[in-house]
């Protein structure tokens, strides 16, 4: 099976590529054909400066160029920065045809007005936006963290922009229901423990076409994260869709 992993973070400290090479080797062991690199998004904390954003994207660009047959890139942005800077940064990343989307982390909540600037850029460039999301019922910090309800709010205001909501494990049933009405929202399976029933519920409510496999490596292990899909009680068609076909269609990946 040609798997696409939509959610992997390189590490800025990996100057000699040892971690990257290890990740590639491990991923291939599991049949992963492509990985989407989202940048070392928390290396400089919640609110990276323009210079720090450039550094993070420099690394993603470098890795995507060096392993162009394996990696795709997402351009990491901080929505608090001026729209002009973000446009320049997106333009710089998207000179490489292997860049597929924009990544937002925890600088601001998805409802924050600043996020609208990013969504306008994504709309104009016709690219997807992958947003971190985690239920704040327990962890609080909603100024930075986005609940699935916040992602739903954003999706309702930008119905023509495709959104990937990360971490369906955290969203759980209520999160899945929150984004269900918005056909412009996909979810990824990355991160969290392999909680049984999560994938089945998401497939039942959203359909398998709106779910994308992600691991959140290297903080997470391909094994445990793939076990979620292999162990779920869903059809083989649904598993194939989640593991690669949906990402291929959404991101316009034509090989394999």
Contact footprint for other proteins (CB under 8 A): 19, 22-23, 26, 29-30, 134-135, 137-139, 169-170, 172, 192-197, 201, 217-228, 230-233
DSSP 48-92: --HHHHHHHHHHHHHHHHHTTTTEEEEEE--TTS-HHHHHHHHHH
Least distance from C-beta 192 to other proteins, angstroms?
7
- H or E element at residue 165: strand 163-165
Asked if residues 194 and 234 have their Cβ atoms less than 8 Å apart, the reply is: no
Asked if residues 34 and 8 have their Cβ atoms less than 8 Å apart, the reply is: no
241: DSSP letter = I
Q: Closer to other proteins by CB, 1 or 196: give it.
A: 196
Least distance from C-beta 116 to other proteins, angstroms?
29
Q: Closer to other proteins by CB, 78 or 170: give it.
A: 170
Least distance from C-beta 188 to other proteins, angstroms?
17
Q: Closer to other proteins by CB, 117 or 239: give it.
A: 239
Q: Closer to other proteins by CB, 78 or 169: give it.
A: 169
Residues 6+ apart with CB under 8 A from 40: 9, 10, 11, 12, 56, 59
Least distance from C-beta 26 to other proteins, angstroms?
6
């Amino acid at each position: 099976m040609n798997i696409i992993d939509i959610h992997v973070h390189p590490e800025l400290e990996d100057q000699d590529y040892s971690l990257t090479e290890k990740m590639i080797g491990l991923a291939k062991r599991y049949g992963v054909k492509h990985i989407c690199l989202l940048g070392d998004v928390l290396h400089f904390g919640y609110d990276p400066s323009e210079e720090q954003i450039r550094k993070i994207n420099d690394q993603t660009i470098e890795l995507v160029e060096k392993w162009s047959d394996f990696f795709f890139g997402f351009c990491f942005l901080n929505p608090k920065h001026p729209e002009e800077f973000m446009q320049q940064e997106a333009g710089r990343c998207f000179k490489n045809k292997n860049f597929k989307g924009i990544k937002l982390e925890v600088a601001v909540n998805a409802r924050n007005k600043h996020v609208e600037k990013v969504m306008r850029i994504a709309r104009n460039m016709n690219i997807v936006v992958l947003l971190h999301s985690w239920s704040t019922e327990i962890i609080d910090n909603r100024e930075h963290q986005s609940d699935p309800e916040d992602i739903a709010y954003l999706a309702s205001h930008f119905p023509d922009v495709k959104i990937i909501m990360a971490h369906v494990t955290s969203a759980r049933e209520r999160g899945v229901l929150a984004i269900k009405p918005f056909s412009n929202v996909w979810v990824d399976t990355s991160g969290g423990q392999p909680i049984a029933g999560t994938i089945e519920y998401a497939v039942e409510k959203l359909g398998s076409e709106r779910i994308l496999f992600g691991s959140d490596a290297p903080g997470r292990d391909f094994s445990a994260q793939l076990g979620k899909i292999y162990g779920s009680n869903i059809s083989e068609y649904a598993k194939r869709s989640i593991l690669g076909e949906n990402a291929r269609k959404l991101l316009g990946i034509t090989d394999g």
